[in-house]
Amino acid sequence: MSEDKNKREDQEKNHVNELDEETLFVVSQTFKALSDPTRIRILHLLCEQEMSVNQIADTLELRQSTVSHQLRFLKNLRLVKYRRAGTTLFYSHDDEHVIDLLQQTINHALHH
At 91-104, the pLDDT tens digits run: 999 989 999 999 99
Backbone angles phi, psi at 108, to 5 degrees: -60, -45
CA atoms within a 13 Å half-sphere pointing along the CA-CB vector of 46: 31
Give the Cα-Cα-Cα angle 53, 26, 57 (nearest 5 degrees). Answer: 15
Mean pLDDT of the chain: 90
Q: What is the DSSP string of 30-70?
A: HHHHTT-HHHHHHHHHHHH--EEHHHHHHHHT--HHHHHHH
Q: Which domains does the chain have, with CATH numbers?
A: 37-110 (1.10.10.10)
Q: Which range is least confidently modeled, 7-11, 54-58, 72-76?
A: 7-11
Q: What whole-number percentage of the chain has pLDDT above 90?
A: 79
Q: Tell me, what's the pLDDT at 16?
A: 58
